[in-house]
Structure formats: structure tokens, C-alpha cells
Amino acid sequence: MANRGKKVIPGWTGRCYEDFAVGDVYRSRFGRTVTEADNQLFTHLTMNTNPLHFDEEYARNTRWGKILVNSTFTLALVVGMSVPDVSEQAMANLGWSDIRLPNPVFAGDTLYCETEVLATRESKSFPEAGIVKVRTRGVNQDGRVVIDLTRSVMIYKKAHAPSGDTFPEIREEKEG
């Protein structure tokens, strides 16, 4: 047993229901620069046929003057950026609402994410979890809000969170 005698320090596994307090604000650790490839791949994977997202000549003749990043990519990216702080211990996403897109996103923009806890309550149907309601905003490198949404997530309580310890036992094998 190669791990015997070693102290393994667990990594971050996300917040459980008891860790959330109304008014807490979490900011994403990293920004993420959106690339042309991100937008093209996401747009084509989701079969979005609006040429504003993939036809440079078409986009040049719009009010934007260039290709606009697919707004559902922006939603997916910003929600993903919030996962380490909000939903790594989620039992289920319950819904997104009040999604607003006040400013456009273009390839080359770097997005950041800020999430505020709005409400918490015990789950009525799943006693091993609670419901957390948050407001998440995606902000570009200039401080402009590009997306603002509310999300409800069912989060495991500490005593019921699934074990994240799936790392295999390391076996030292002799060479030869």
C-alpha cells in the first residue's frame, strides 16, 4: 500500500447547505477569456442558425459590427464559473429565472462571475437537502454586467453529501 502512512489533505469539495448564509457574496477565482472557437463550437453544437454568431460578413452589417457571442454560451460559462462556490454539492438544479443580458459579449472578452446568496430554506420533499437561491452576475473586463440571473439549487446537507473520495489506491509496481 503506497498511501500507508501518508497524510492526504483533502481538496475543496464545495459548500454544503449549512455553509450558505443570506448576503454572502462569492467571486470566481479565475476569469475566462472567450475565444472565437468557443463561440463557433457552442453555436454549431446547439444548432443555433442565427448568422450573427458565425457569419463575419453578416455581422459586420449589424449594429454590433462584428460577431456576437451566443448568449446561451455566456449563460453556460457564467453558471459553470459559479459551480465551485455554489453547486459542487448540488443534488439538482431547480431552475434559472430573471435572466437578463444588459451588454453584449464578443470574442476576446474576459468574463468574471459574482454570486450573492439571496435565500435558503429546508427542502420539504428531500430532508437530506436544502434549497439555496442565488443571484449570479457575469462581468466583463471593463466591469460591465453581461448577464444577470437568479438560480435555485438543491444542495446536500453535510451529513448526506456523497463521498467525493473516488481516488484509487496507488499501487507501486516493480519494474521488470
pLDDT tens-digit series, residues 15-73: 999 999 999 999 999 999 999 999 999 999 999 999 999 999 999 999 999 999 999 99
By residue count, the chain amounts to 176
For residues 116-127, average pLDDT? 96
Instruction: Kindly state whether residue 61 falls inside one of the protein's structural domains.
Output: yes
Gap between the Cα atoms of 174 and 176, Å rounded: 6
Instruction: Kindly state whether residue 39 falls inside one of the protein's structural domains.
Output: yes
Q: What angle do CA 156, 160, 161 make, to 5 degrees?
A: 60
DSSP letter at 3 equals T
- Tell me what pLDDT residue 105 has: 98
Instruction: Kindly state whether residue 7 falls inside one of the protein's structural domains.
Output: no
For residues 119-137, average pLDDT? 97
- Tell me what pLDDT residue 146 has: 98
Q: Is residue 57 within 8 Å of 87, Cβ to Cβ? A: no
- Tell me what pLDDT residue 176 has: 64
The CATH number of residue 120's host domain is: 3.10.129.10
Q: How many folded domains does the chain comprise?
A: 1
Instruction: Kindly state whether residue 11 falls inside one of the protein's structural domains.
Output: no
Q: State the pLDDT confidence band at 154, using cuts at 50, 70 and 90.
A: very high
- Tell me what pLDDT residue 6 has: 80
Report the predicted TM-score, pTM, of the whole model to 2 decimal places: 0.88
- Tell me what pLDDT residue 173 has: 81
DSSP letter at 19 equals G
- Tell me what pLDDT residue 166 has: 76
Instruction: Kindly state whether residue 166 falls inside one of the protein's structural domains.
Output: no
DSSP letter at 69 equals P
- Tell me what pLDDT residue 12 has: 78
1 has a pLDDT exceeding 90: no
Quote the mean pLDDT of the chain: 93
Instruction: Kindly state whether residue 174 falls inside one of the protein's structural domains.
Output: no
**Domain residue limits at 73:** 17-160
- Tell me what pLDDT residue 2 has: 56
